[in-house]
Chain A
Amino acid sequence: MKTFKSYADVPEAPLADVPSSEEKTSGWRSNRPVVDLKNCTKCYLCWKYCPDVAIAINGEGWPEVKYDYCKGCGICAEECARDCIVMEKEV
Chain B
Amino acid sequence: MPKTTIPQQELMYSGHAACPGCGAALVMRYLLKGVGEKTVMTIPACCWAIISGPFPRTVLKIPVLDNAFEATGASISGLRAALDAQGVKDVTVVGFAGDGGTADIGIQALSGMIERNTDAIYVMYDNEAYMNTGIQRSSSTPFGAWTTTTPAEAEGTWKLEPKKSMLAITVAHKIPYVATVSIGYPEDFVRKVEKAKAIKGPRFIHAFSPCPPGWKYSPEQTIKLSRMGVDTGIFPLLEVENGVYKVSRKPSKRTPVKDYFALQGRFRHLPDAVVAEIQANTDKAWENLMAIEEFSKTHPWCTF
Contacts and interface: CB of A to CB of B under 8 A. Distances in A.
Interface in A32-72: 42, 44, 47-49, 51-54, 57, 61, 66, 68-69, 71-72
Contact of B53 (A20, A51, A57): A20
B275 to A, nearest CB: 25
A12 interface: no
Interface string B106-132: 000000000000000000000000000
Nearest to B220: A74
Contact of B57 (A16, A54, A78, A87): A16
A49 B25 CA distance: 10
Q: Secondary structure of the B side of the interface?
A: loop
Task: Determine the interface band of chain B, counting residues with CB < 8 A from chain A.
Answer: 35 or more
Nearest to A58: B2
Contacts of A68: 14
Contacts of B282: none
A19 B58 contact: yes
A48 B59 contact: no
Interface of A: 2, 14, 16-25, 28-29, 42, 44, 47-49, 51-54, 57, 61, 66, 68-69, 71-75, 77-79, 87
Given A21-B13, A23-B57, 5 more contacts: A17-B56, A53-B12, A68-B14, A69-B14, A73-B212
Interface of B: 2-6, 8, 10, 12-18, 20-23, 25-26, 29, 52-53, 55-59, 183, 186, 212, 218-224
